[in-house]
Structure 1
Amino acid sequence: MIKYTVTLFLTIAVEFGILSLAAVIFDFNLINTFFVGGLSIFCAVWLFSLFTHQSSNTLNAGIRGWTGQDAGDIKPFQEKFGPIKMGLAAFIGVNLLITYFYYY
């Protein structure tokens, strides 16, 4: 449990640091950078896991189709929220609230 919590907060801190540095270097608005950058990073991580799962299914289907051997099951994609993805999602949620209250 401690490892999970440390990883979650470390993910938030690293994302905060990277996006803060990007906002300062490129002279962007900090609030917009946090929201759009956090959303972009979360989408990139999600798409990577989706692509990895789809590639595994494609390989298993190809082996089964060409050779008839059972290379593994073809399973539907189910998102698993570990501490890193939960940290990314928490960062997006907090920044969504901050952005909303800042502009409205």
Structure 2
Amino acid sequence: MRTFVIAGVTIIIETILLWLFSLWLGVHLLEILLLGGISIFGIAWFFQQGSTYANNHINTMTRGWTGLDTGGVRVFRFKVGPVVFGLLMFILISLIITVIYYVEI
């Protein structure tokens, strides 16, 4: 239950941020909905990857300069927590809305 609440709050916050960004640019929200969702997800991906890279870099530098074993090098594994789940759900919802909006019936 807690996961769905956090995911829902993430979707609401992401919608508000993209709405404010669309107001700042002077475009409709539906024009930046999908690309904005993918961009925010990409930022989350890079933060997780950058954290793993920084830890590996520090561990190898410590091992190289001092010889102490500080945990070794870890493989990057993307973790899907409640916030990332909300980001993925937002991308799916925005994809559906974008397709419905731009399809000519």
- Give the TM-score normalised by structure 2: 0.90
Give unmatched runs, 5+ long, in structure 1: none
1:98 shift after superposition = 1.7
Following TM superposition, by how much is the alpha carbon of 1:80 offset from its aligned partner in structure 2, in angstroms? 0.5
Q: Look up the equivalent residue of 2:2 and give its one-letter code.
A: K
Question: Where does residue 31 of structure 1 map in the other structure?
Answer: 30
Aligned to 1:20: 19
5 Å matches for 1:89-100?
89-100=88-99
Secondary structure at the aligned position of 1:85 is classed as helix
Instruction: Give, in whole Å, the separation in 1 of the partners of 2:78 and 2:27.
Output: 32
Mapping for residues 38-53 of structure 1, pairs under 5 Å = 38-53=37-52
Output aligned runs, 1:65-76, within 5 Å: 65-76=64-75
SS in 1 for 2:27: coil
Give the C-alpha shift of residue 85 in structure 1.
Answer: 0.4
- 1: CA distance, partners of 2:29 / 2:61: 47
- Distance (whole Å) between structure 2 residues aligned to residue 17 and residue 88 of structure 1: 13
Q: Provide the identity percentage.
A: 35
1:17, distance to aligned residue in structure 2 (A): 1.0
Letter paired with 1:9: G
Give 1:54 deviation, angstroms.
Answer: 0.3
Matches of 1:85 and 1:56, distance apart in 2: 21
TM-score normalised by L of structure 1: 0.91
Give me the whole-angstrom Cα distance separating, in 2, the residues matched to 1:97 and 1:5.
20
Q: Is there any run of 5+ residues in structure 2 with no aligned partner, and where?
A: none
Structure 2: distance between partners of 1:68 and 1:89 = 42
Q: Give, in angstroms, the shift of residue 66 of structure 1.
A: 1.5
